[in-house]
Every structure is written in C-alpha cells, then in structure tokens.
C-alpha cells in the first residue's frame, strides 16, 4: 500500500472553545467525536475530501491521568503555550498497511506501535513513549486500520477539502531524504525555513491556512 493521508490533527486548549474558533474561520461546526481513554483526550471530527478527515483534539479535563505522556505532545509546556492562544496544527497522520515495516525502515525513531480502540473502531498507531512529535510534527504519525475501516467515510461532508500540506525545515535537502525513504514526498510541499507545519484548506468561507 502506498502511504496515503489519513487525517490532519489540530490541537486546542479546550475542545469547545477550539471548535468555536474554527467555526468562525472555516464556516462549519465540527461534530463531536469521542474520548480516548488510553490518552485522556477527546476530539471532534469531520470529513476532509473523499478519504481523509480533520481532527481537533484536546486534553479531556474530566478524564483521569492516563499514567503516561499524552500523544501529539499535548503535555509539553511549549505545545500548551501555543494552544492557549488558538487552535494550532500539531501533526498529520498517514495510513499504511504494515506499521512494523515502516518503523523498521524509518531513519527516525517513530516510537512504539500502540493498539487502540473506540466503540467499533480499532487502529494501530505510532506513538513515541514520551509523547513528543517526531521533527516537531513535520514527520507524520503512521496508522494502520485493520480491514481498512477508517472512520472517514462515515463522517459528514461539510465542504472541507485539503489542498496542500506545507512543511518548513531548516535543512530541507536532508529532511527530504527522510521523507523520500518513507514514501511521503508526494503528499507534501517542502520549504526551507524554521520548522513549521501548515494546512491549506478549501472551506465554505474560501481558502484557509491553518498553522
């Protein structure tokens, strides 16, 4: 299976306020998703084009301590400071059919492979043990859906389409080799500059950049 974009991840300090801020920018209200008991987070989800989706995620204030660092760097003080201002792009997630093979050939440590579930959905995801984002989110997390059962097709189509993923890296040639080794170059636009991740989205309000 050629790596395919599965979803993009934006984080926020509080899920309800983050959804309100994105509604003002995108012109849509993100539907409720659910809770992640293993990580003590919760989210909202909507479709992003034909086969991908958009995830807004936050620490669940009503959940107990997960007993481990949360994913997507949500426990990191730097991430928390960024999210205090507004929803921010955290990461992108790529679907593959053999996570172990991807982890084995990656020139960068992608973390452990966790088996997770919610309701009737099950998935496997690369998550660093300390919760950090490889390359600050410029490298994706990798996901495997047993039986190919991604939730994208069951999510509402609210007119959001991803038009580009922009990665900025201070050493784009070397980083580009990492992306190439993982089969990711066709999915992104790579630029030179301080590390930064942004998503270009066509929405009912027009083109929007989320960073």
The model's pLDDT over 93-138, given as tens digits with 9 standing for 90+, comes to 999 999 999 999 999 999 999 999 888 889 999 999 999 999 999 9
Is residue 82 situated within a structural domain? yes
Is residue 204 situated within a structural domain? no
Is residue 190 situated within a structural domain? no
Calculate mean pLDDT across residues 31-44.
95
**So what's the pLDDT on residue 108?**
94
Is residue 100 situated within a structural domain? yes
Is residue 18 situated within a structural domain? yes
Buried b (16+ CB within 10 A) or exposed e, 165-201: bbbbbeeeeebbebbeebbbeebbebeeeeeebbbbb
> In CATH, what number is assigned to the domain containing residue 45?
3.10.180.10
Structural domain of 68 = 4-149
In DSSP notation, 102-128 reads HHHH-SS---EEEEEEETTEEEEEEE-
Average pLDDT over all residues of the chain: 95
Confidence of residue 149 (pLDDT cuts 50, 70, 90): confident
Q: How far is CA 51 from CA 100, 105, 175, 191, in A?
A: 23, 26, 27, 26
Is residue 109 situated within a structural domain? yes
Are the beta carbons of 143 and 95 closer than 8 angstroms? Answer: yes
Is residue 167 situated within a structural domain? no
Look up residue 88 and give its two tokens: 């921010």
| Residue 171 scores a pLDDT above 80 | yes
Number of separate domains in the chain: 1
């Amino acid at each position: 299976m050629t790596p395919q974009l599965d979803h993009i991840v934006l984080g926020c300090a509080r899920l309800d306020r983050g959804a309100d801020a994105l509604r003002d920018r995108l012109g849509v209200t993100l539907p409720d998703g659910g809770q992640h008991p293993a990580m003590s987070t919760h989210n909202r989800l909507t479709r992003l084009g034909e086969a991908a989706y958009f995830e807004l995620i936050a620490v669940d204030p009503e959940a107990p301590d997960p007993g481990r660092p949360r994913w997507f760097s949500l426990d990191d003080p730097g991430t928390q400071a960024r999210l205090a201002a507004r929803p921010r792009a955290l990461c992108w997630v790529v679907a593959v059919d053999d996570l172990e093979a991807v982890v084995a050939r990656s020139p960068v440590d992608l973390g452990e492979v966790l088996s997770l579930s919610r309701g009737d959905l099950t998935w496997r995801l690369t998550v660093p043990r300390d919760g950090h984002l490889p390359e600050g989110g410029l490298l994706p997390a990798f996901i495997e859906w047993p039986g190919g059962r991604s939730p994208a097709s069951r999510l509402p189509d609210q007119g959001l389409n991803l038009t580009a993923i922009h990665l900025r890296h201070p050493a784009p040639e070397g980083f580009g080799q990492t992306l190439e080794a993982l089969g990711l170059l066709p999915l992104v636009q790579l630029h030179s500059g301080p590390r930064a991740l942004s998503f270009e989205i066509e929405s009912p309000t027009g083109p929007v950049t989320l960073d």
